[in-house]
Amino acid sequence: MDFGLFYFADGVRTGTDQYRLLLEGARFADSNGFSAVWTPERHFHEFGGRYANPAVTGAAVAAVTENVAIRAGSVVAPLHHPARIAEEWAMVDNMSGGRAGVSFAPGWHVVDFALRPENYADRRQVTMDTIDTVRRLWRQEEVELVDGAGESVKLRTHPAPVQPELPTWLTSSGNPETFRQAGDLGVGILTHLLGQSLDDLVRKVAEYREHYARAHNGTGHVALMLHTFVGDDRAKVREVVHDPFTDYLRSSLGLVLKAAEELMPGIDPDEMDPEDIEFLLEVSFERYFETGGLFGTVDDGMAVLSSLEQIGVDEVACLIDFVPDTDAVLDGLRHLARLKQRWEAR
């Protein structure tokens, strides 16, 4: 199982400190044998707003690393022209010597589509079409587009990338159909545990593998985002992550309620008392701390990784920046590296 670092922009950072964790974390990942650094695309909100373009952060990571893969987690495909995506990521591929990769997502924040309002209604189909076009352009095929005069023209994007094929994933928040689509397309799947359980994931990964094998005679790649903080004392780790992770759950209340629907069917956040919401968030925190994140000591992490291996996870994309204390997160990376080393030495 591979280990990557994933930046989700949960924690609040200001001033020149905003990107220190990204760059120092990337250097750490590069020198300690991590597989990838993933950065997201976010718009129009302080939560994550400093990550408006993963190609820009990818280029910055390329400048300070030599080995680690540089990936978008994710490009919101319907917000961009496919030729622009191909151009930007081919530049990152060249800057990094062939280390670029992209996970594509259809997007779900309606406000984000202020950038391309015409694509919101059909965003899932637009995503599929965009992936196809970007992959063709990446191979240096000519694609028919419409120019400013309304004429059809065949164009090829530049620069040509280093890699002959773009490493590609499809991002899923848990929809089984997305897992099946990724298998049919022959791309990886990037997912998380917010709104789905490990038991759910077992079934979905199995379906993904089945579709991938049938269409492409391979096994594919499953990357799982997990909030991560590893230390030498489980109680201290719990203290460090409790408030910031609970705040994250609060910001994603809809998915938390989806995950809790089995226990509380038909719940509506607009009809819940504030005390009930806080109770639900505390219950959810306990659940994720125990089984839905990479929290605690190296021993705790080994048990989690064993469970994920049985499910068929190929890479743990460690979400590290939800804790706002940059120095604490960077210090925690050495414990994560110990976990990685121990896992690989089994």
Q: Where are the domains of the chain?
A: 2-234+294-345
Q: Is the pLDDT of residue 17 over 80?
A: no
**Which two three-digit tokens encode residue 210?**
């089945």
Residue 101's DSSP bridge partners are 71
> pLDDT tens digits, residue range 114-151?
999 999 999 999 999 999 999 999 999 999 999 999 99
**Model confidence band, residue 265 (pLDDT cutoffs 50, 70, 90):** low
The confidence score (pLDDT) of residue 86 equals: 98
**Model confidence band, residue 250 (pLDDT cutoffs 50, 70, 90):** confident
CB 47 within 8 A of CB 12: no
**Vertex 102 angle, CA 98 and 103, to 5°:** 155
**If you average pLDDT over residues 211-224, what whole number do you get?**
97
Percent of the chain with pLDDT over 90: 79
The confidence score (pLDDT) of residue 227 equals: 95
The Cα 65–Cα 175 span in angstroms is 34
**Model confidence band, residue 44 (pLDDT cutoffs 50, 70, 90):** confident
Q: What is the CATH number that goes with domain 2-234+294-345?
A: 3.20.20.30
Q: Is the pLDDT of residue 73 over 50?
A: yes
**Which two three-digit tokens encode residue 240?**
């460090």
**If you average pLDDT over residues 87-111, what whole number do you get?**
96
Q: Left, alpha or beta for 13 (phi > 0: left; psi -120 to 50: alpha)? A: beta
Lowest mean pLDDT among 90-104, 186-200, 254-268: 254-268
Which range, 58-72, 183-197, 318-332, has the best average confidence (pLDDT)?
A: 58-72
The Cα 294–Cα 288 span in angstroms is 9
The confidence score (pLDDT) of residue 16 equals: 57
Helices (H), the chain: 20-31, 54-64, 82-95, 123-138, 176-185, 198-216, 234-251, 253-260, 274-287, 298-311, 326-344
The confidence score (pLDDT) of residue 262 equals: 46
Percent of the chain with pLDDT over 70: 91
Q: Is the pLDDT of residue 263 over 50?
A: no
Q: Is the pLDDT of residue 249 over 50?
A: yes
**If you average pLDDT over residues 102-118, what whole number do you get?**
95
The confidence score (pLDDT) of residue 159 equals: 98
